[in-house]
Structure 1
Amino acid sequence: MSERIRSASDPSTWGPAIDEAVAAVSRGALVVLPTDTVYGIGADAFTPPAVQALLDAKGRGRQMPPPVLIPDVRTLDGLATDVPDAARALAEAFWPGGLTLIVHAQPSLAWDLGETNGTVALRVPDHPTALALLRRTGPMAVSSANRTGSPAAVTAQDAHAQLGDSVAVYLDAGDAPGQVASTIVDATGDVLRLVRAGALTLEQLAEVAPVEAPEEPPEPGP
């Protein structure tokens, strides 16, 4: 096992590992953390060089900005503006959990996540290790812990095999329980629209708020 991998599955013993990860995030380094879907590679959302390092580690360009993980639903209004009531209802129902909401970002925030066009994708993960970290670091830019084009890591060892020394600390909490990506809903338009089905189905979302299916691409012409 790599010396960068720290056991973080037991709240009674994970203190030193969480401390090390918090220190890494605070100095602008990258960490890998477990979530309820897959493992993620994370950086302080408000440190632009750290976010750029995250994109570089994945081999990803600025045109694919990372989502931001937050510790609870109350953080939503600190980062987003003009959040529709229907989107709030989804957040209350499914956070923590496998729902990512694309919303308008607060224009005053001093961050640079990439080419976001004034939006941000937010999620509260349903994983105790991730939440223990986020409660101390605040919002983190987090993307799946893999090189772009490779399978998402479902263990800390998988993540280390792909990302190596680009990450300072790997928090190991065993196999990721969900092993399926979050469901993404765009809440920036006149209606809520499903962008990607994942941990939650369109039917589950519709029980809480009206969400439209993805727009079909136009039929090719003759």
Structure 2
Amino acid sequence: MKKKLISVLSMSLAITFLAACGTGANKTSDSTSSGGDGGSKSYKVAYIARAQSDSFAAWLANAVKDEAKKYPDIKLDVFDGQANDDTENSMIENAITNKYDLVIVQPNNGEAQRPYVEKVVKAGIHAITTNARISGIEGASSVDANPYEQAAVNARAALEQIPQNAKVVVLDGPSGNFHADERRKSWQKEFFEKRQMLKLLVNRLQTGTKTKL
């Protein structure tokens, strides 16, 4: 399922930024990520990954690079946000300064990156956010999976496998993260509301924190 998601996502990204760059200026790049035809237009694309140390983020970045290689008019540069908001935000600003035609951002923390993606749009540069998207930025696009349905698949299976009087610990993702919030919403509707006899030991245990049960 993960391979299918990445394949679809990377193909969608490639198709989307090709369409988005259709009106871009004729610019060149020193990137060696994809080849080019010396006589044709080329478009500079910055892909800013959340963290290359994150196995999923690294896999996604590699998938995007593989897709970009199929298009000779795309010059792709991949940057590592190092799971740090300041680092990622600085990279977004550098992409604006270096006048990329398209900036694709995989947020480390969507709300922290929001004003910087808005700067990309204000600079007249095409912007895409992905996995997890930053919703509600006028002029920007997003390519993402549906986290509600991803969680719902597991929640429906849990209805069949977890007994009525089970004790449950809820492990949430980071608050404010689009994927984490939508998955929690899905579990609430698809599982907890249908299994009201369950005993919740901990209701809002956050990932990345140390909590004694």
Query: Is this a same-fold pair by TM over 0.5?
Result: no
RCO greater where, 1 or 2, for CA within 8 Å and sep 6 or more? 1
Kindly name which structure, 1 or 2, has the bigger radius of gyration based on alpha carbons.
2
What TM bracket, shorter-length normalisation? under 0.3
Given the two structures, how large is their TM-score scaled by the length of structure 1?
0.25
TM-score (norm 2): 0.26
